Structure 1
Amino acid sequence: MNAADEILDIVDENDRVTGQAPRGEAYARGLRHRCVFIQAKDASGRIFVHRRTATKLVFPSLYDMFVGGVVGTGESYDDAALREAEEELGVTGLPRPAFLFKFLYDNGSGQSWWSAVYEVRCALPVRPQVEEVAWHDFLSDEELSARLGEWEWVPDGLAAWERLRAHRG
């Protein structure tokens, strides 16, 4: 199945399901849906950072400090977080990501999505999906902070990063 054909739950401003639509239609029409963001850290506490492939439907070729994606129809945030983390990191047997918080992301152009933020420790060797990840590495907090002003980041991931930093105080 093409990613644009994946069926998503469409939700209201209170995150209640109001219908379903294919991903491509949800994006094109600005229909509110659900996403998960998972901060993956290695055994040393470094953060998994990657550059998205040029073929991604949203934010192609931009950098991200989260793995994640859309929540499928009828799927829970928790199940989507584990599925997306294992898919994007290319691992199996990952511990269930820990839920941190949820927020409504708004891109300022009439599109918004509910965003659940998680964290997970990945001590396994990663083999990221070549269809999703063009480049990856684990960066320390200092290395990541230094890159924030240098690289072009996905805007929703940057919003989640800022909220995560505030959440951790």
Structure 2
Amino acid sequence: MSDVPLDPALDPALDPALDPALDPALEVITVVDEDDNVVDEVPRGEAYARGLRHRCVFIQARDAEGRVFVHRRTATKLVFPSMYDMFVGGVVGAGESYDRAALREAEEELGVHGLPLPTPLFKFLYDDGAGKTWFSYLYEVRCELPVRPQVEEVAWHAFLTDEELERRLGTWEWVPDGLDAYRRLRAFRSA
């Protein structure tokens, strides 16, 4: 053991301000190439700032009646603050599979435990049109448990019928990647 004092700037355990749970920009995520092969692991904030291609999961959650979970993101979100989304989900962490990330994100954002493993539907490359891309795996899950969404993630939520959701597409401000995923999902289901 060294007599040299540890530098809190190098050890999140010694400096709570460096805890990824308190600052999502510090969460380490997987960076991938154009074929979705892992090439690096970097903090989320760095990946976003540098426009590095990474992995995301989108999970459409439906209740026992088949209604879709819809929510408005909090104003403190790193990406697309205060916008509406018809998916729960997020980035795939370093060393994490798409499937594991889908279950983790669904349970975290819905505020439940014991969900069935979300069913994978398809993967696509999202391009924001400004040079930033991410591989996105789309899943679906049935959530028959009472939801308690994370207050840090979700400002408002409701379960909407497909018809109610469609009516709001032109009137609410939706996250662009979620809207793209939703259009792809509709095409997938009608094929």
TM-score range relative to shorter protein: over 0.9
Q: Does 1:50 align with 2:71?
A: yes
1:17-166 to 2 correspondences below 5 Å? 17-166=38-187
State the SS of the aligned residue for 1:78.
helix
State the SS of the aligned residue for 2:78.
coil
CA RMSD of aligned residues (A): 0.4
Query: Structure with the greater relative contact order (CA < 8 A, sep ≥ 6): 1 or 2?
Result: 1
* Letter aligned with residue 41 of structure 1: R
Give the deviation of 1:20 after TM superposition.
Answer: 1.2
Provide the C-alpha distance between the structure 2 equivalents of 1:18 and 1:55, rounded to a whole number of angstroms.
Answer: 29
Deviations 1:8-29 (A, max 9, x none): 1110111001111110000000
Give the deviation of 1:150 after TM superposition.
Answer: 0.4
Provide the C-alpha distance between the structure 1 equivalents of 2:29 and 2:101, rounded to a whole number of angstroms.
Answer: 12
State the SS of the aligned residue for 1:87.
helix
Provide the C-alpha distance between the structure 2 equivalents of 1:93 and 1:80, rounded to a whole number of angstroms.
Answer: 15
Provide the C-alpha distance between the structure 2 equivalents of 1:56 and 1:9, rounded to a whole number of angstroms.
Answer: 19
* Letter aligned with residue 115 of structure 1: S
Give the deviation of 1:154 after TM superposition.
Answer: 0.1
State, as a whole percentage, how many aligned pairs show the same letter: 75
Larger Rg: 2
Provide the C-alpha distance between the structure 1 equivalents of 2:63 and 2:145, rounded to a whole number of angstroms.
Answer: 8
State the SS of the aligned residue for 2:163.
helix
Deviations 1:142-165 (A, max 9, x none): 000000000000000000000000
Deviations 1:99-125 (A, max 9, x none): 000000000001000000000000000
State the SS of the aligned residue for 2:137.
strand
The number of residues matched between the two structures is: 169
Q: Does 1:6 align with 2:27?
A: yes
Q: Segments of 4+ in structure 1 off by > 2 A?
A: none
For structure 2, which runs of at least 5 residues remain unmatched after alignment? 1-18
Provide the C-alpha distance between the structure 2 equivalents of 1:145 and 1:67, rounded to a whole number of angstroms.
Answer: 18
